[in-house]
Structure 1
Amino acid sequence: MTSTVFSEQEIQRLRTETKGAENSIHFNNAGSSLPPDVVVKTMVNYLQEEAVNGGYETEYHYREQIDNTYSLIARLINAEKEEIALVENASTAWGIAFNGLHFRQGDVVITSEMEYVTNLIGFLNARQLYGIDIKVIPNDARGNFSLAHLEAAITPQTRLIAITHIASATGGIMPVAEIGIIARKHGILYLVDACQSVGQMPVDVQQINCDMLSVTGRKYLRAPRGTGFLYVRKEVQDQLKPLFMDGHSIEWINETEYQLRNDAMRFELYEKSRALTLGLAKAVEYAMGLGMERIWQRVQSLAALLREQLSHINGIAIHDIGDHQCGIVTFSIKGMDSQRVKSELAARNIHVSVGVARSTLLFMNRHQLPDVVRASVHYYNTEHEIKTMCAVLASIIL
C-alpha cells in the first residue's frame, strides 16, 4: 500500500497541472521529468515578452525574479545565495568544480563504484594531465558503500572525495552525509553529484558537509532541460580557479589586473537563457510548495510498490542494490534485450529508459550487466500506472 502523504485528490490536481500526464505513463523521471504546466507557461510568457520588447529590456523588467532564482535554490538545499552559480546542467557544474581544482602529481581522488561516466572521464583526464591517482571504494556484499574502507583509504595525499549521491543505473543511495563527516574530519575537499537526488528527496548541504554540489534541473526537479546549478561553499571558493571568465565574473578590472567577484557567480558567464532561468525558479518553487519530505515519502512508496510487483513476474531480475533505495528501479528480463523492452513499452505509451554499461561503468562491469531497463517514478505517478506497466511486462514475457 502506498503512502497517503498525498491525497488522491491532490495527486489528481498535480496530474491536471501536468499536461504530459494525460498522454503517457512517464517512468523516465531520472532522465527528464514532465514539467508542471506553470513552468512551461512561465518560460513561454517570458519569451513572448522578449520577442516584443527585446532581450535586455525584458531581462531588466524581470531582474528581481531572475535574481530571486539564486535565493530559491539556496533555500532548497540550505545554502547561501552567494554560494550558488547557475549553469546548463549537472555535468557542467561538476566539471567547473572538479577541473577548477589545482591538482598535482600524486594527488589522490577517492570515489565509489557508482560514479557516473562524465565524472569518471574527468578522473581519467586528470590522471593523464596531472598524474593523479584514483581510488575506488567498492560496495560490500549487500551493495552498501563501506565507510570503514573509505576511512582506511585516506592518506596525506588524498586531495578530494567525489561521490555520486544516486547512480544512474541502480536505485541505491550513497551515505553522503556520513561520508561528509569523514571528509570534514580529515580536511579533505568533498564534491557530490546530486543530479538524481535534488527534487526527489531533501538535500541539505550543511548536513552533507559537502564543499561542492552539482545539480541538473530536468530530472526530479521537473525544470527545463538546459538548466542546473553548482553549489560552492563560501570558504572554498578561492580554492577553485574559474575555467572561463567574462565581465560578469569579476568585481573590477583595469588595464593590468582584475578582481574576481566575491561569490559563486564568478563560476558563471553572463549570457544564458533568462526564460530557462525563470522556468528553473518556478520548478524549485513548485517543489518546495509541495514539501520535499512529502515528495520523498511518495517517491519511496511508489518505487517500493513497483519493485514488489516486478518481483512477482517470472523472468524479471531487479538490480537495485543497498539498504537504502530511491525512485529509480532497474531490472532486466531474461533472454530479452533491454532496448527491446523499452520499445515494447513505448509502443503502449509507457516511457522508461535503458541504462547502458558505460553510464555507470564500474558498477555495471562488476555485476556483468550490459544494460538494464530503468523505470524512475515521481510523485505525480500513480499506483494504477505501475499496475499497468507490470501487466504489460508480464504479457511481453508470455
Structure 2
Amino acid sequence: MDTNMDIEALRGETPGCANRLHLNNAGAGLLSRRTLSAVVGHLELEAAIGGYEAADRKRPEIDAVYAGLARLLGGSPDEIALFDNATHAWNAAFYSLPFAPGDRILTGRAEYGSNVLAYLQIARRTGAEVVVVPNDEHGQLDTAELARLIDERTRLVGVSHVPTSGGLVNPVAEVGRITRAAGVPFLLDATQSVGQFPVDVAEIGADMVSGTGRKFLRGPRGTGFLWVREALLPALEPNVVEIESGVWDGALGFSWAPGARRFATWEMSYANVLGLGAAVDQALSLGMPAVGERALALGGYLRERLSALPGVTTYDLGRERCAIVTAKADSVASERIAEVLRAGGVNVTTTVPGHTQFDTVDRGVHPLVRLSPHYYNTEEELDTAVRLFATAAAA
C-alpha cells in the first residue's frame, strides 16, 4: 500500500483520528482541519460583517468551488450546480426529463433507495415503465442485457456507480458506451464513488452525474453537486424555477439561466460551500489516483481478513470492488456486531433493506455490517476492527 501520501501527517490534520477508529466513510468522512477552518472561518465572517457581505467578499473563493469540482470530474465549471445534498441534485436531473405512457426507465439491482422511489413515482404518475436490468455472473449490472433491453421506448438509464450497501463498482464506462450508441441519457449516481477513486465524466460517458461532499470527499454535511453535459441541457426542463435558475424577460416570460445553473437555488450555506471547496482542493492536491489506490487496497485488506474469520461471510459483489466492505456473522445479528464495534471505538453502520430495494429482493441478505475505510486509515486500525468483529461473532 505504498503511496506518496504522508499518512501520519494526514491523520494529524484530521481531529477525529485522535478520538475514534473511523470506518464509516461511506456515511460521512472525517473533516480535515483545512475543511473545518473554511466552514468555521466563513461563519465567523458572517457573524462579523453580515451574511450577504461575507458572500460578496468571498465570491472568488465561492466561484473557485465550481472550478474545483469541474477539475475533479473532468467537466467545465458551467456544467456544475451546487445543492444541499446529493439526493436533491439527483432529483433535479431526473425530474427535468419528460416521461409519457410506455416510456421505459432502465436501472440496476444496486440502485439507491431514493432513486428507486423516484422511478416508481414517475411510473405511477405518467405510465412509464421501470425495467430492472439483471446482474451478470459477477453480481454487477449485466451490460449485455442492458444493450439488449434498450429500445426506442427507453428514455433514461439510471445507475448507481457504487451501491450504498456494498463494495460493488458497476461497469459504468461500458454503460456509457451503450447509452451513447443508443442516444439515451445516462444519469449516474456517483455519491459513493466521487472522492473514493477517480471519476472522469468523459471516460464514463455519463450525461448527468450527482454526488455529495460528506462521504469520501470528506466535506461537510449539507453539500451536494450535479454535473450535466452541456449538450444535453436543451433537452432538459428543470422541475423548479426561481430567481437563480430563471431570468425574467420583463413581461410574462422567462429564460433559463445558462449552463447547469438552471438547476440551482439562490440561497445556500456558503460556509458549507467553502468547506466543500476545501475538501475538493485537498483531494486534488493528493491526487485521485493515489487516493483511489490506497482506499481500494485498504478495502481489499479488510475484506480478505474478515472473510478468513470462522462463521463470517463477506457479501461484496462485482468484478471490481472498492473500499466499502459488507459482512455478516452466521449466528450473531449484524446490529449486535455493530454495537460491539462501536463500543470498542470503531465507527461502522449496518445496511438497510429499504435503501437498496431491488438488491434486497434479489439476495435477501440485509442488514449487513458495513465498514468503509479511507486513505487516512491504517492497516493496524483495520486489524483492530477485525479482532473486535471476531470477538462479537464468537459470542
TM range (shorter): over 0.9
Partner of 2:103: 107
287, 293, 300: which one aligns with 2:296? 300
Separation in structure 1 between the aligned mates of residue 364 and residue 245 of structure 2, nearest angstrom: 45
4, 7, 27: which one aligns with 2:2? 4
Please give the root-mean-square deviation of Cα atoms over the aligned residues, in Å: 1.0
Contact map agreement 2:82 2:223 (CA 8 A) in 1:
yes
Query: Aligned pair count?
Result: 394
Structure 1 residue ranges (4+ consecutive) displaced by more than 2 angstroms after TM superposition? 250-253
Q: Deviations over 1:35-79 (max 9, x none)?
A: 111101111011011101001111111011001111110010000
Contact map agreement 2:351 2:369 (CA 8 A) in 1:
yes
- Matched AA of 1:382: T
Contact map agreement 2:207 2:229 (CA 8 A) in 1:
yes
243, 248, 254: which one aligns with 1:247? 243
Contact map agreement 2:337 2:393 (CA 8 A) in 1:
no
Separation in structure 2 between the aligned mates of residue 146 and residue 396 of structure 1, nearest angstrom: 36
Partner of 2:313: 317
Q: Shift in Å at residue 145 of structure 1?
A: 2.1
Q: Shift in Å at residue 4 of structure 1?
A: 0.3
Q: Shift in Å at residue 218 of structure 1?
A: 0.3
- Matched AA of 2:3: V
Separation in structure 2 between the aligned mates of residue 220 and residue 133 of structure 1, nearest angstrom: 33
Contact map agreement 1:250 1:261 (CA 8 A) in 2:
yes
Separation in structure 1 between the aligned mates of residue 257 and residue 327 of structure 2, nearest angstrom: 47
Q: Shift in Å at residue 14 of structure 1?
A: 0.2
Separation in structure 2 between the aligned mates of residue 250 and residue 142 of structure 1, nearest angstrom: 45
- Matched AA of 2:49: N
Q: Shift in Å at residue 238 of structure 1?
A: 2.1
Q: Shift in Å at residue 142 of structure 1?
A: 2.3
Q: Shift in Å at residue 307 of structure 1?
A: 1.0
Tell me the TM-score normalized by structure 2.
0.98
- Matched AA of 1:5: T
- The reply to whether residue 327 of structure 1 matches residue 323 of structure 2 is yes
- Matched AA of 1:86: L
Q: Deviations over 1:280-325 (max 9, x none)?
A: 0000000000000000000111111101111221011100011100
Partner of 1:53: 49
Separation in structure 2 between the aligned mates of residue 225 and residue 253 of structure 1, nearest angstrom: 36
Contact map agreement 2:331 2:393 (CA 8 A) in 1:
no
Q: Shift in Å at residue 255 of structure 1?
A: 2.5
What pairs with 1:1-398 in structure 2 (closer than 5 Å)?
3-6=1-4, 10-398=6-394
Separation in structure 2 between the aligned mates of residue 275 and residue 341 of structure 1, nearest angstrom: 37
What SS does the aligned partner of 2:163 have?
coil
Q: Shift in Å at residue 85 of structure 1?
A: 0.2
Separation in structure 1 between the aligned mates of residue 47 and residue 37 of structure 2, nearest angstrom: 15
Contact map agreement 1:6 1:298 (CA 8 A) in 2:
no
Q: Shift in Å at residue 364 of structure 1?
A: 2.0
- Matched AA of 1:102: P
Q: Shift in Å at residue 250 of structure 1?
A: 2.3
Deviates more, 1:81-90 or 1:362-371: 362-371
Contact map agreement 2:245 2:262 (CA 8 A) in 1:
yes
Separation in structure 1 between the aligned mates of residue 4 and residue 44 of structure 2, nearest angstrom: 35
Q: Deviations over 1:349-393 (max 9, x none)?
A: 100011011111111221111310000010000000000011111
Separation in structure 1 between the aligned mates of residue 288 and residue 138 of structure 2, nearest angstrom: 28
What SS does the aligned partner of 1:152 have?
helix
Contact map agreement 1:227 1:276 (CA 8 A) in 2:
yes
Tell me the TM-score normalized by structure 1.
0.97
What SS does the aligned partner of 1:391 have?
helix
Separation in structure 1 between the aligned mates of residue 386 and residue 4 of structure 2, nearest angstrom: 23
Separation in structure 2 between the aligned mates of residue 369 and residue 263 of structure 1, nearest angstrom: 43
What SS does the aligned partner of 2:53 have?
helix
- Matched AA of 2:330: K
Q: Shift in Å at residue 252 of structure 1?
A: 4.2
Identity %: 39
- Matched AA of 2:374: H
Contact map agreement 1:27 1:352 (CA 8 A) in 2:
yes
Q: Shift in Å at residue 19 of structure 1?
A: 0.1
Structure 2 spans left out of the alignment, 5+ residues: none
